[in-house]
């Protein structure tokens, strides 16, 4: 007799969505080391849905998630415009090209060297908080438990059972251990005596800028095809801006580096002539990538009963519903709707 069939480590969107997708079919306990779920990557995202973000293996998860997100009212239209100073990108051929006059109409004050653009109307904002809270509520409603302020310290597998010790010394047993610890995924594996996969946390910076230009709330997501910045409207006179940075980091409570904020502003000033009035706030979070940048959903081939739910990179919110359904199916030995082969941790063993 174990305390719980499934012990999920990590209360961000990955752990919460998987817990909800299990739908009470096994007893489930989710533990989160922080005082509330969503303090790390999940609470720091730019909150957009962009169809091909993350690459071809990820896109089916993104597409399949859209219907669920839309049906629940968690998407609001935003649209994206990808800018170029001359270069073309293969992936953009399926998008509507915009000429200079059309670009100026959509982004007034756009500087002259941005000559080409492509429109991606399907880009949308995601209500991340509503999605995340709903997952936690569904997990609880199906009989699952969520404990915050509870960190996995060590875990050892003995005779088909995980013996887990929490930081405060409490002991638990579980049949399956799910590693949904985001930037800490490899660290949690090590704590369980499992060889890490090389899940690398990378810092991404966000800046909320107030500018001397109004009417920005519905500004599309503006990116460049060289992936050196993105920004979108936040309020009438403010935007969310990122320098698209990806600095290696240890797992931690990430904070923005001043230089990345300065780089973000410098890049922004090369795009539009809107005077910058103030940095209203800035933050950073860790996006975690497996070595091939695809997420990892599946049982470890070497460590019995250890299930990976990690490496969600910069697409963990927009893929959450479909990725959780896939992970739950694999975990329960059912046939997932999407081929799980690209996400199998066996590719690294
Ligand atoms: C700046 C930024 C912008 C982004 N923009 C987007 C976007 O627009 N769209 C999109 O889809 N995605 C975006 N992402 C990516 C998305 O936020 C992540 O993919 C997603 O939040 C990862 O969720 P997670 O649950 O794996 O990680 P987290 O939310 O970090 O959750 C992991 C949790 O595990 C807990 N934990 C760690 N160790 C232990 C332990 N030993 N015991 C118990 N708990 C533990 C941590 O405290 C943490 O709460 C962005 C990310 C960043 C940083």
- Residues 8-46 pLDDT 10s: 999 999 999 999 999 999 999 999 999 999 999 999 999
pLDDT reported for residue 86: 84
CA-nearest of 124, 9, 120 to 77 is 124
Question: Can you tell me the distance from the alpha carbon of 268 to that of 247, in angstroms, rounded to the nearest whole number?
Answer: 19
Ligand 1 and 44: CB distance under 6 A: yes
Q: Looking at ligand 1, which residue's alpha carbon is closest to its atom 42?
A: 151
CB 223 within 8 A of CB 91: no
Q: Which residues are bridge partners to 221 per DSSP?
A: 80
CA-nearest of 190, 184, 238, 196 to 15 is 184
For the segment 291-319, the average pLDDT, to the nearest whole number, is 98
Residue 145 to residues 5, 43, 148, 242, Cα–Cα distance (Å)? 12, 21, 10, 36
Ligand 1 and 42: CB distance under 6 A: yes
Ligand 1 and 282: CB distance under 6 A: no
The CB-side HSE value for 154 (13 A sphere, CA atoms) comes to 4
- Could you tell which of 316, 319, 322 is best to mutate to test the pocket of ligand 1, judged by most ligand atoms within 8 Å of the CB? 316
Length of the chain equals 349
Give the distance (Å) from ligand 1 centre to CA of residue 301.
Answer: 25
Q: Which residues are bridge partners to 157 per DSSP?
A: 162
The CB-side HSE value for 61 (13 A sphere, CA atoms) comes to 30
Ligand 1 and 65: CB distance under 6 A: no
pLDDT per residue as tens digits for the range 192-245: 999 999 999 999 999 999 999 999 999 999 999 999 999 999 999 999 999 999
Token output for 13: 């969107």
CB 79 within 8 A of CB 120: yes
Ligand 1 and 164: CB distance under 6 A: no
């Amino acid at each position: 007799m174990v305390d719980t069939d499934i012990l999920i480590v990590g209360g961000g969107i990955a752990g919460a969505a998987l817990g909800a997708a299990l739908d009470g079919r096994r007893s489930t306990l989710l533990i989160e080391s922080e005082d509330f779920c969503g303090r790390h990557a999940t609470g720091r995202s730019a909150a957009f849905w962009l169809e091909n973000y993350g690459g071809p293996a990820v896109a089916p998860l993104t597409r399949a998630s859209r219907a669920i997100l839309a049906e629940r009212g968690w998407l609001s239209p935003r649209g994206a415009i990808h800018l170029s100073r001359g270069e073309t990108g293969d992936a953009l051929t399926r998008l509507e090209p915009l000429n200079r006059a059309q670009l100026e109409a959509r982004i007034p004050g756009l500087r002259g060297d941005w000559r080409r653009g492509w429109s991606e109307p399907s880009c949308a904002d995601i209500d991340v908080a509503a999605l995340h809270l709903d997952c936690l509520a569904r997990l609880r409603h199906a009989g699952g438990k969520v404990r915050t302020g509870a960190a996995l310290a060590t875990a050892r597998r003995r005779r088909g059972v995980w013996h887990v010790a929490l930081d405060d010394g409490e002991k638990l047993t579980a049949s399956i251990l799910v590693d949904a610890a985001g930037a800490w995924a490899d660290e949690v594996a090590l704590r369980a005596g499992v060889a890490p996969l090389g899940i690398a946390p990378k810092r991404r910076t966000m800046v909320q800028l107030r500018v001397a230009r109004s009417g920005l709330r519905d500004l599309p997501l503006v990116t460049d095809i060289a992936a050196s910045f993105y920004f979108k409207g936040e309020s009438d006179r403010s935007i969310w801006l990122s320098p698209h940075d990806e600095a290696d980091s240890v797992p931690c409570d990430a904070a923005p580096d001043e230089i990345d904020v300065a780089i973000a502003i410098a890049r922004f000033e090369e795009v539009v002539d809107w005077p910058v009035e103030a940095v209203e706030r800035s933050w950073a979070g860790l996006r975690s990538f497996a070595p091939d940048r695809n997420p990892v959903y599946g049982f470890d081939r070497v460590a019995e009963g250890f299930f990976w739910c990690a490496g969600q990179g910069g697409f963990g919110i927009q893929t959450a519903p479909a990725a959780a359904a896939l992970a739950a199916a694999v975990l329960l030995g059912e046939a997932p709707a999407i081929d799980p082969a690209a996400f199998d941790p066996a590719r690294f063993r």
